[in-house]
Amino acid sequence: MAFLFSPKARAYHDESLESYLLRVVAENNFDSYHQLSFAIREELHELDFEAHGAFPIELKRLNIYHAKHNSHFRMRALGLLESLLGLPPYELQKIALLRSNRTFSGGAAALHRYGVDIPLSFIRYENEENLESIPVCPACLNDEPYIRQVWHLKPYNACVKHRCELLHRCPDCQASINYIQNQSITHCLCGFRLSKAAITPAENANIVLANCLMGGDAKSINILLNQTSLTHRFAALLWYQKRYAKSHSTSFENAIEYFESWPENFYQELEAITLSAESRLIKLFNHTDFRSIYGELVLHSRCLLPEDKEPHFIYASVIGYLHKLVDSHPKMKKPNVADMLVSVSETAVILATTHEQVYRLYQDGILTSSFRQKMAERVEPNKGVFFLRQVIEYKNSFGNERQGMYISAW
């Protein structure tokens, strides 16, 4: 059924889908991806009309996650394209970026590739609003001329193999390098061959960060690097960016150094907030929302949803601090910092459960509201309503058991 020629080298496991299709363009002597896409759509029209309409004409829309509605038609189109190219089943689908059913800190969308979930906000791509560079390593292009998927990651700015900086601009014309816009893997629009560019040695911090996005370092004492799960490392970087970075361009530079002192430095920061909490009060602690003092500490600590069997180390550290906070501030006549109010959303994070389960705990009288509710009035999910002390003490009553803790009797 094949009517196109595949590149002599099949898709590399670390190659981007767009890169492979550009190599198909070159192998079949098309002038551009547009010509290839029209030829493919014409063939797909005869094979599967629905899949034909889902195959994108523009290279920047090729990947699965760009599908505006259901992506299964796009998946079907790629499956048919594999047949047209004479490729084994799933050869193209396994290098594509897929939508993930998981979310990162703060509800951030995720993509999936090779068993790893990646924050969508970490992906470099080209769109109408913002033309981003997709940098390259000249030495890698000289070794094998294809685009590595890792070059699409914003935190990745140094080549681990050659220990050099990625090239963001053409040395000849200073234009941003973007192979999707230029439709060329090896050359800039001005004609400069990118593999001929001089390489600049990368700073060690950038190399360590790049290695974190590859294999990590199981022997490292740095908790970010020794995480066995790459998804967990991505989640930690996104949490760091949301909490500390004032701009996206500088958000990852100090992440490695920051996590070397984890969790002592984090606890020191939280302790400083705790010590100054009383000076920031407008009402008593038992009438003050936890978020008004600690911000999004609890909500952003849920680094992944659904969670893995082992909780993320950031979540474990936050929950550990809340336990210490309650233990070190026992119940007294005068309300203290442990009597602050957490919302339904925050309670769900602390108890590692759903909003629905929290509402059931409230309806069953296990959790009590800090104020009187009107009949049939639903508690707002983001309003402080439950006492932090009560929530933590309830969690403690289950010990380390995390499965099936809050199943309702009905």
10-residue stretch averages of pLDDT, the chain, 410 residues long: 73 95 92 90 80 83 83 84 88 93 94 95 73 90 97 95 96 94 94 96 93 85 89 95 70 86 96 94 92 96 89 96 96 94 95 91 86 69 92 85 54
158 forms beta bridges with: 165
Report H helices in 283-387: 291-294, 297-301, 313-328, 344-350, 355-363
- Are 165 and 306 part of one and the same domain? no
pLDDT at 378: 72
Q: Is residue 410 part of a domain?
A: no
DSSP class of residue 187 equals B
Strand partners, 303: none
Comparing C-alpha atoms, which of 258, 405, 386 is closest to residue 326? Answer: 386
Same domain, 214 and 74: no
Longest Cα separation, the chain: 82
> Is 140 a domain residue?
yes
Q: Are residues 299 and 239 in the same domain?
A: no
Co-location of 366 and 269 in the same domain: yes
Instruction: Report the interhelical angle of 388-396 vs 313-328 (nearest 10°).
Output: 110
**Cα(224)–Cα(241) distance, integer angstroms:** 14
Q: What is the pLDDT of residue 379?
A: 76
Same domain, 253 and 271: no
DSSP 19-85: HHHHHHHHHTT-SSHHHHHHHHHHHHHHH-HHHHHHS-SSGGG-SGGG-SS-SHHHHHHHHHHHHHT
> Is position 63 within any domain?
yes
pLDDT of residue 105: 94
Same domain (yes/no): 138, 195:
yes
Range of the domain at 274: 264-396
Cα separation, 172 vs 233, in Å, equals: 36
Within this chain, do residues 76 and 158 fall inside the same structural domain, yes or no?
A: no
The tokens describing 80, both together, are 């048919």
Q: Tell me, what's the pLDDT at 410?
A: 47
The domain boundary residue, chosen from 76, 96, 116: 96
Nearest to 286 by CA among 363, 388, 392: 388
Of 68, 96, 124, which closes a domain? Answer: 96
pLDDT at 408: 53
Give CA 215 to chain center in angstroms: 17
Q: Are residues 79 and 120 in the same domain?
A: no
Cβ-contact 387, 286 below 8 angstroms: yes
Residue 290 in domain: yes
**Residue 128: predicted pLDDT:** 46
Answer yes or no: is 303 within a domain. yes
Q: Measuring CA to CA, which residue among 136, 102, 105 is closest to residue 116? A: 102
Asked, for residue 372, whether it belongs to a domain, the answer is: yes
Same domain, 138 and 253: yes
- Do 108 and 76 lie in a common domain? no
Note whether 230 and 347 are same-domain residues. Answer: no
Residues 253 and 105 in one domain: yes
Residue 137 maps to a domain: yes
Residue 406 lies in a domain: no
The CA distance from 229 to 225, in Å, is 10
Domain count, the chain: 3
Domain boundary pick from 231, 258, 285: 258
Looking at residue 402, its pLDDT comes to 56
